[in-house]
A and B are shown apart, each in its own frame.
Chain A
């Protein structure tokens, strides 16, 4: 049995608040639209159209759940590949609305070939036009991998994504699981990272997709210098106290942004929004979760986000408060070295303007990974509270002065540590050394961040990377 062949009969559809008519779904996204591949047979199971979103052209297609559970045959697949050709020709973003059991069983290997052609078309379009998927019903087998190849996946309340459904899982592994547990909002929003956004209603899911494609496809609006807002007050008084970085991200952006993957790898925040009118991507370590450490999963999440923004010329703002990489056997065995390397690669190859703001600390390998000067940061700012070092001063002197510390009696050791740490900080801690070496360009008041960052980004020409966006 191949994993792509999920019988249409196994697909049952939960009640949804939007009509199951794919035409209505395209209208919910685009309003008025003109059909693409209008000569396709009525029972192809896919409808495609082109319309406008915020003045920009967008292509969209939707599978038809009322025909064989939305399963894809040769003709339906051809509608989708045609939609991709149209999107590439018109340089338009493309949104796929999925509700499909996968490949049509009756058409055998021909339908598999059709689904494979969709994957190839998606890959050819990758990094050239933004691709967003909305999953409103079950999306099994090929219908799961379609969305997975696109830049951003939005899951509606009845959306379920899996390679093989509960029946197959039960017969092969004996695991008793329903569609929701297997591939619903918790499974993919929190555990797997397959979906970037979860919505409460079908209409909200479609609207989110529209917002995302609008941001990624906006190549005309640039960041302009913009007014400041108070930000220092969002940091806790104690430098040791963790805090939620998301209010800082929100205040940086003109309006609250769209946080991708909010529940998966929450120790790093990836948000799309606008600064001074122009679209930007914000990447921020979140001290509230895992102390803001980078780990295998968050590095991968961040790397994919950086590459997506770079491909579409969306400038990046990187907020850094990172104590380092998360230590532990689990991390090493999870491939924190291999997966962490993706973030280094993503930043080092990025050509889009990208500004770093060190808010509190940037230590060790995580300092390098978070868009350091050495990886090609356009500009590096630091708040007065910032510290850039290999590690915290106390930890550093414990290694550097191990013998001297061991030589003094226990009660005096803490005092000596503090004295040595102060000395160490004066010579190689804080942000002074990084300024001398031009690894930090400027110390800015936290409350002047918006103007400093927007001015820095406004001063650079629009650029984008010439690479695809492999779903890392």
Chain B
């Protein structure tokens, strides 16, 4: 199980996957918005998105859990 966490304070701009989706290593899970940039959050390994803990428009803090892939 790989936890995907926010590296910095950001707005959740777009969700590109849903719980239950199969993803490959390097697939974009979510796009965050911070420092006026759209920052893709990538899967660091293949697996199933077992949890997606954010919704569009939400603010995440550094270290917040975004998703669990495994």
A324 interface residue per 8 A CB criterion: yes
A434 interface residue per 8 A CB criterion: no
Q: Could you tell me the distance between the alpha carbons of A238 and B39 in the complex, rounded to whole angstroms?
A: 12
B1 interface residue per 8 A CB criterion: no
Of the residues A291, A292, A330, contact of B62 by C-beta under 8 Å: A330
Q: Could you tell me the distance between the alpha carbons of A323 and B9 in the complex, rounded to whole angstroms?
A: 15
* Stretch among B15-23, B30-38, B47-55 lining the A interface: B30-38
Residue of A nearest to B9 (CB): A328
* Stretch among A156-164, A173-181, A282-290 lining the B interface: A282-290
Of the residues A238, A289, A330, A392, contact of B7 by C-beta under 8 Å: A289
B46 interface residue per 8 A CB criterion: no
A456 interface residue per 8 A CB criterion: no
B8 interface residue per 8 A CB criterion: yes
Of the residues B8, B38, B42, B62, contact of A240 by C-beta under 8 Å: B38
Q: Are B7 and A290 in contact (CB under 8 A)?
A: yes
Contacts of B42 in A (CB 8 A): 288
A227 interface residue per 8 A CB criterion: no
Contacts of B38 in A (CB 8 A): 238, 240-242
A293 interface residue per 8 A CB criterion: yes
Residue of B nearest to A287 (CB): B37
Contacts of B37 in A (CB 8 A): 240-242, 287, 291-292, 323
Q: Is the contact region of chain A dominated by helix, strand, or loop, or is it mixed?
A: loop
Interface residues of A in 13-29 (CB under 8 A from B): none
CB distance from B59 to the nearest CB of A (A): 14
CB distance from A370 to the nearest CB of B (A): 16
Q: Are A392 and B8 in contact (CB under 8 A)?
A: no
Interface residues of A in 274-301 (CB under 8 A from B): 287-293
Interface residues of A in 316-337 (CB under 8 A from B): 323-324, 326, 328, 330
Contacts of A330 in B (CB 8 A): 62
A395 interface residue per 8 A CB criterion: yes
Q: Could you tell me the distance between the alpha carbons of A7 and B6 in the complex, rounded to whole angstroms?
A: 41
CB distance from A6 to the nearest CB of B (A): 33
Residue of A nearest to B37 (CB): A291
Contacts of B39 in A (CB 8 A): 242, 287-288, 291
Q: Could you tell me the distance between the alpha carbons of A289 and B8 in the complex, rounded to whole angstroms?
A: 9
Q: Could you tell me the distance between the alpha carbons of A408 and B29 in the complex, rounded to whole angstroms?
A: 40
Chain A interface residues toward B at CB < 8 A = 238, 240-242, 287-293, 323-324, 326, 328, 330, 392, 394-395
Query: 15 more A-B contacts (CB under 8 A) besides A287-B37, A290-B7?
Result: A238-B38, A241-B38, A242-B38, A288-B39, A291-B8, A291-B35, A291-B37, A291-B39, A292-B37, A293-B8, A323-B35, A323-B37, A324-B35, A326-B35, A395-B36
In the A-B complex, the 6 residue pairs with the closest CB atoms: A291-B35, A242-B39, A291-B37, A323-B35, A241-B38, A240-B38
